Amino acid sequence: MRIALPYNTQFGEYNTDKMVGGIEKFCHQINDTFDDVHFVYIDNNNSIKDNTTKIKKHAKDINADVIISNWHQGSFSGSKMLDSEVPIMFVNHGHHGLGSILGLMKRLIDKNHSCYMVSNSQHQWYRAMAKRLKCDDVIIDGLINSSYVRGDKPKLSDIKYDCCTIGRCDPVEKKPFLLKSWLEKTNFKTILMTNTPTAEKELKYLKKNSHWKDVLFDLKHEDVMKTLSKSKTYFSTCPMETWGITALEALSHGVPLILNSKNNSHASSELCGNETHYKFVSGDKQLTLAIDSFDNIDRKEIQDMTWENHGYEKWKRNMTNLIDKTIEKFKTKRGNVNGK
């Protein structure tokens, strides 16, 4: 199948060495899995009309079977994309609190395109949002795991750090420096991996947190994994994760999860093979206790169950089936509308 893959260049064009976020990594996975993927680079600062025209024209010119759209902004999945002659597979990766996202997904479905989410937790969040706003229930075509494990299972590493986190240098959602501030008064050895930001608010956030030690910037993915594997625990600082790719990477190395949660729930808990593989926390004291609680955890059990549940071949089969479902749905329903 031939895939048109719009790519948001907000953090730069496609780079095989560095992952700036979960959506970008998902795009890497599509490109790595399927043989006929064609990128469409989109600068979200350009007009929506120009961007959507570029995507639709490119998809038509290459005779694409499907457009896989991973961003909710108008340039990628908005109303000006609805008349696409190529079926759109919209994968909603986030929690977007504006009511307009509900209309976006409904319009895509109404025009015979397809909408997917990445966890049951995310879907229920949107359903609750729709109920609160007195909108129609949120209908989707299914769930897609954001990531998988692949290759040779890594050997368990000797522990060097008590806790680590990985996150974009973002003061609103990811807040990676929460790891440092919550554990400031402890003797725990922690490591934080993030990116060098460019936006003003993120630079301000970085400046405010520039005094912390053991912070690594802009590592290659393989070096991030080497560092992660040496930690006793992984702290997911963002309570609003919809899946948690870095959480899966931690589990795949036998590292248990500590999940920042406002209501004793977190999407990344759905990735775990056993409820003993994670803890919910909502403050510094709970984080300290959670780290200590994993002193005798069976790291090999965590790793083995993760590799069994999240293997690449299983992900590839599911992704292929859902792309086929998207294409068939569009052809069938469009044909019925046109009387064919």
Rounded to 10°, the helix 312-337/22-33 angle is: 90
Mean pLDDT of 85-99: 93
Share of the chain above pLDDT 70, in %: 97
Rounded to 10°, the helix 245-252/299-309 angle is: 120
Note the pLDDT tens digit of each residue in 210-223.
999 999 999 998 99
Mean pLDDT of 309-325: 97
Q: Is 134 left (phi over 0), alpha (psi -120 to 50) or beta?
A: left
Is the pLDDT score of 340 beyond 50?
no
Cβ-based neighbours of 286, under 8 Å, separated by 6 or more: 280
Question: How distant, in Å, are the alpha carbons of 252, 256, 307, 322 from that of 273?
Answer: 11, 11, 10, 24
Reply yes or no on domain 3-148+313-337 having CATH 3.40.1360.10. Answer: no
- Domain ranges for the chain: 3-148+313-337, 161-309
In 3D, which of 48, 53, 50 has the Cα closest to residue 71?
A: 48
Is the pLDDT score of 18 beyond 80?
no
Q: How many Cβ atoms are within 10 Å of 199's Cβ, its own excluded?
A: 12
User: Given this model, what pLDDT does residue 22 score?
Assistant: 81
Share of the chain above pLDDT 90, in %: 89
Q: Do domains 3-148+313-337 and 161-309 have the same CATH topology?
A: yes
Mean pLDDT of 248-261: 97
Is the pLDDT score of 289 beyond 90?
yes
Which CATH number does 161-309 carry?
Answer: 3.40.50.2000
Mean pLDDT of 233-246: 94
What is the model's pTM? 0.85
Mean pLDDT of 312-335: 94
In terms of Cβ atoms closer than 10 Å to its own Cβ (0-12, 13-18, 19+), residue 295 is: exposed
Confidence of residue 262 (pLDDT cuts 50, 70, 90): confident
Which residue is it, tokens 């700036």?
20
Is the pLDDT score of 272 beyond 50?
yes
Confidence of residue 276 (pLDDT cuts 50, 70, 90): very high
Is the pLDDT score of 336 beyond 70?
no
